[in-house]
């Protein structure tokens, strides 16, 4: 158990002393950019899925006829 506590305390010390944290304004700006690109990527994925679904449905309807 001592090893676990030692590991956690060393990890926190590492975060305090050796990590360069970005400014709050930069964090907010980058968060907005990630959110916007996530929505755009989700919409693009949905659009491609809809196109393929309609293409496959049309193909199978064409085969049935």
Predicted confidence (pLDDT) per residue in 9-60, tens digit: 999 999 999 999 999 999 999 999 999 999 999 999 999 999 999 999 999 9
Domain ranges of the chain: 1-64
Q: Which residues contact 30 (CB under 8 A, 6 or more apart)?
A: 22
What pLDDT does 65 receive?
76
State whether residue 21 is helix, strand or coil. Answer: coil
Model pTM above 0.75:
no
Task: For residue 22, give every residue at least 6 positions away whose Cβ sits within 8 Å of its Cβ, in sequence order, or none.
Answer: 30
Tokens at 28, concatenated: 């907010």
Q: Which helix (H) or strand (E) holds 39?
A: helix 24-64
């Amino acid at each position: 158990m001592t090893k676990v506590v030692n590991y956690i305390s060393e990890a926190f010390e590492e975060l305090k002393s050796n990590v360069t944290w970005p400014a709050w304004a930069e964090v907010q700006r980058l968060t907005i950019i990630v959110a916007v690109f996530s929505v755009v990527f989700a919409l693009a994925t949905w659009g491609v899925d809809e196109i393929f679904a309609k293409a496959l449905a049309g193909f199978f309807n064409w085969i049935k006829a």
